Amino acid sequence: MSNPLLDFTDLPLFDKVQPEHVAPATDTLLAAADKALQTVTEVGFPNRWEDIAKVLDTATENLGRAWGVVGHLNSVADTPELRAAYNEALPKVTDFWTRLGSDERLYAKYKAIDPATLNAEQRQAHKNAVRNFVLGGAELTGAARDRFAAIQERQAELSQKFSENALDATDAFSYYAAENELTGVPDDVVQAARAAAQADGKDGYKLTLKMPSYLPVMQFAHSGPLRERMYRAYVTRASDQGDPKFDNSALIQEILALRREEAQLLGFRNFGEVSVVPKMAQSPQEVVDFLRDLARRAKPYAEKDIADMRAFAAEKLSLQDPKAWDWPYIGEKLKEERYAFSEQEVKEYFTAPKVLAGLFKIIETLFEVTIRRDVAPVWHPGVEFYRIERERRDGERMSTELVGQFYLDPAARNGKRGGAWMDDVRARWLRPDNGKLQTPVAHLVCNFAEGVDGKPPLLTHDDVITLFHESGHGLHHMLTQVNERDVSGISGVEWDAVELPSQFMENFCWEWSVLRHMTAHVDTGQPLPRELFDKMIAAKNFQSGLGTVRQIEFALFDMLLHTDHDPAQDFMPLLAKVRQEVAVIQPPPFSRTAHTFSHIFAGGYAAGYYSYKWAEVLSADAYAAFEETAGKDGLPSIETGRKYRQAILEAGGSRPAIESFKAFRGREPSLDALLRHQGMA
């Protein structure tokens, strides 16, 4: 037990894990998992769900949990030593999961299980397992089987390297600006840049490509040359336009070639066809048609957005021919003039503690739970830990039941990858080895700016939306009432439906009845004034056409890249072609956004980035049920909240997502609510 990665008594010992623990722990757990696999695949071992779970699932659970800790630390507390340990163990771990997913003996055991002997949750998990065996290469033999395994291992290495290059290229850039270059940039951003320069022992103001530094410069800096410098550095990260040692070009080409080969080994024409098998969408063509239909509806609004900005730039900013680095600045200035407020003005009211309290209040009210601070080992002093509880009536007695727990890691810092995400630490599971209920635990990770001058961190409204989004994923994982691990919470949920609960939560960031409880001016403590909120609402769909076609551009590029594109060819012409079709702003020739498109090259979104727009349709329609049942005070209905919780959150992946949606709405989803919410109806 001297190795903290081998301690499964409760929560992970994040504060004790060192790089030297990784190799011995993974070796020990891989050996145990291998032994369990051998045991359950022996000829005499019973073809029974519980028997297999008791031996194999408990072993793979330990491996998954320990490797999850290592992977998480690699994402949020990256060091050269940890990275080396992670990369050394990665091929062995990948090899095991690949072998497990393609083991024909285990596949035969699962096929021999009689679904009539299973409960509803187990039947869904069994159905998914059989499907995943096929996708995992279990029906391959001989050389094809060996090649499939080699492809999985190589893909894992390439994705990890892609992610490292993107992080390293981002971290490698810094520019020490002079004070006069930062005219227009918000005070708190300037102060943070000054403090960062001083920490480096340098003069001036340190700017980086991390979002809390980069985005405000692009939106607010009056200096065109500074915006150009930052933009050029940002869109050329990890590409042939920057430092060759971080260039992801060859990695992308190899990843695409391997995915095509994998698909063909499995009997599909391309990777897009493989990708949609476990999703709601029935075919890549259905996805492409969906995206093009949405583009057709959104593009006129996007063209109007650009025409407005061009006219405003020429008239008010003396910019006759705006460049790519000018658009965020023009957009912010136009928004300020049209709606007479700025993101900076709004930000003063969103202090992190107040926002968090407001988020917890809506969760507690709507889903009938309580959130309290809790204690656990953490990887950084800024990480907070919470527990979710529910009151349970047991005859005459009321008791408090633990529902789930979560870590919140809000701040951006070096060694932490950008973006925001939710990940699971462990799933809800009625353990077959001891009969005890394992409660779910989640990570909620963001990259917000830190507070300056002793003041609490200030969040932009976009940051607030991000926090609500990730909490939606967390609630999906933690509020589940499913006891079968592989379909509890987010497990087993179709990828193009998994964003429903996250995008659903975003809607509350636009409700006065919710928002007024989560604002307090950083200096005066006064809540957000109603007139400022009204301006925000008026501006809510500002450039929503532009935002929609941008997401469609990414999604269509992703799906065509994995279906029609020849991996041996350069992919940049395809990106240009997609932009010609759907985009209304053409970026400069040096732009290389695909080279940091981690969602599809180092995440789970390959041929699946469309899921965001697909799930937006579901979430907007689900939220419309709350609009239809809101009280006179605008507060959401508790009854609707309960119905949503039971039909969607508690059901997890225990049934097809469309069934959960119809259980809540009583019908198929409709596009109307999304277009209405985004001002494009």
Task: Report, as residue numbers or ranges, the catalytic residues.
Answer: 470
Q: What is the 3-state secondary structure (H, E, C) of 321-342?
A: CCCHHHHHHHHHHHHHHHHCCC
Tokens at 576, concatenated = 């240009």
CA angle 357, 72, 353 (to 5 degrees): 15
Judge whether 257 and 118 are in contact, CB under 8 Å.
Answer: no
Q: How far apart are CA 2 and CA 6, in angstroms?
A: 8
DSSP characters over 527-549: PPPHHHHHHHHHHTTTTHHHHHH
**Placement of tokens 């040359």 in the chain:** 225
Assign 83 to helix, strand or coil: helix
The number of residues making up the chain comes to: 681
Judge whether 3 and 24 are in contact, CB under 8 Å.
Answer: yes
Q: How far apart are CA 11 and CA 69, in angstroms?
A: 10
Q: How far apart are CA 595 and CA 433, in angstroms?
A: 45
Q: Which residues are CB-neighbours of 491 under 8 A, at least 6 positions away?
A: 424, 427, 485, 652, 653
How many whole angstroms from its chain centre is CA 62? 24
Which of 486, 449, 496 minimizes the C-alpha distance to 604?
496
Q: Which residues are CB-neighbours of 180 under 8 A, at least 6 positions away?
A: none
**Placement of tokens 């462990």 in the chain:** 426
3-state helix, strand, coil in the chain (%, to 5): 60, 10, 35
Tokens at 613, concatenated = 């727009």
Tokens at 489, concatenated = 């919470």
Q: What secondary structure letter does DSSP report for 645?
A: I
β-bridge partners, 404: 388
The number of beta carbons lying within 10 Å of the beta carbon of residue 32 is: 16
Q: How far apart are CA 126 and CA 111, in angstroms?
A: 9
Q: How far apart are CA 12 and CA 69, in angstroms?
A: 7
Q: Which amino acid does the sequence have at 313?
A: A
Judge whether 473 and 490 are in contact, CB under 8 Å.
Answer: yes
Packed helices 19-40 and 58-76: angle between N→C axes, nearest 10 degrees: 150
Tokens at 333, concatenated = 């200035």
Judge whether 561 and 608 are in contact, CB under 8 Å.
Answer: no
Tokens at 401, concatenated = 């039941």
Q: How far apart are CA 269 and CA 260, in angstroms?
A: 8
Q: How far apart are CA 652 and CA 668, in angstroms?
A: 19
